[in-house]
Structures are given as C-alpha cells and as structure tokens.
Amino acid sequence: MVGRYGAAVALALCLLAPLAADAASHESRQPAWTELTSTQKQILAPVAGEWDGMPATQRKKLLGVAKGYPKMTPQQQERIQTRLKDWAKLTFQERELARKKYQKLQQLTPEERANIRKKWQEYQRLSEEEREALRRKTAAPAATEEAKVEPAAIPVPPATTPKTGGN
C-alpha cells in the first residue's frame, strides 16, 4: 500500500514540477511595453525605448512607481518625470556608475548619508556662478594629477626637418 502511495506522490510531483517552475517564471516575468496600460505607458514614456530590454526587477520597480504616481503631488510627479528623462539619456556606462554610487551610498551610516544630504542642499543653494567656481576649483587638482600621469601617454609628433629646394 505504501509503495503505491509513494509512487503516486512521486508521479504527482513529477507532473506538477513543470507547472510550479512555469508559475515561478511567470511571477518574475514583467510585462512587455505593449502589455502596459495606456496610463502606465504615459507615465513611463521616457523609458519606452528600452523597456523591453530592462531586467524584470527594474521593470517591477518602475511599475511600482507608476502605480503610486496618481497619488503624488504635481511636484512629485514632475520630479519623477525629470528623473526618468535624465535616466533615459544616460549611457550604459553612466547608468552602471550611478548604480554603483547608489549602492555605495546605501552602505553608509545614516549619519554619513545625512551629512552628504546636508552638503548637497548647501550646494543647491549656491548661485550658478558659485557652482561653476566650485567645479573649477575641485577640477583643477584632478587636472593637475592627470597632468602628472598623462604626458607619457601622449604621443609626441616626430620632428620635422625643413625641406630644401630641389630634393
């Protein structure tokens, strides 16, 4: 009796395993752009061209943003749209760098993040002229460091000899 029962359970597991795997892959699968509602498409329009190539996790996060979008204030909605447009303009390498910086930021203590937030707010209050001066000031040491390393990498043109009349 136990033998038949064990065989029946084994058979049931074998038959149900593909269904369970299909259900798990279906859960992680996120809709293609054509499957989105018109409201979702409108909200996520800045990333339309790359939607189908995005990882499922990124699509899921963006669908969450789209879901909460109608409840946001107009200022929050504008901020979301600006960020989506800015993200869409980034190259693959720039996006990877942004992701790495974000991950690094998440590893900081709350106090360190608060300090960075405070400095960012101070920077935002600067006039455009002050920001530009600060950029030049902070870029100058970096350029000086590059100048110490880079000259060897710059090819020197061969010396030219003046041409004389008949040769």
Contact (Cβ atoms closer than 8 angstroms) between residue 30 and residue 59: yes
The reply to whether 134 falls in a domain is: yes
The reply to whether 44 falls in a domain is: yes
The reply to whether 9 falls in a domain is: no
| Closest C-alpha among 57, 58, 68, 118 to residue 88 | 58
The reply to whether 64 falls in a domain is: yes
Determine the Cα–Cα distance for residues 43 and 126; give it in Å rounded to an integer: 32
Q: What is the DSSP letter of 26?
A: H
Q: Are both 43 and 74 inside the same structural domain?
A: yes
pTM: 0.55
Tally the domains of the chain: 2
Q: Are both 87 and 112 inside the same structural domain?
A: no
**How many CB atoms are located within 10 Å of the residue 7 CB?**
10
Q: Are both 83 and 117 inside the same structural domain?
A: no
Which residues span the domain enclosing 87?
28-91
Q: Is 77 exposed, middle or buried (CB count within 10 Å of its CB: 0-12, 13-18, 19+)?
A: middle
Q: Above 60 in pLDDT, residue 167?
A: no
Q: Above 50 in pLDDT, residue 143?
A: yes
Q: Above 70 in pLDDT, residue 141?
A: no
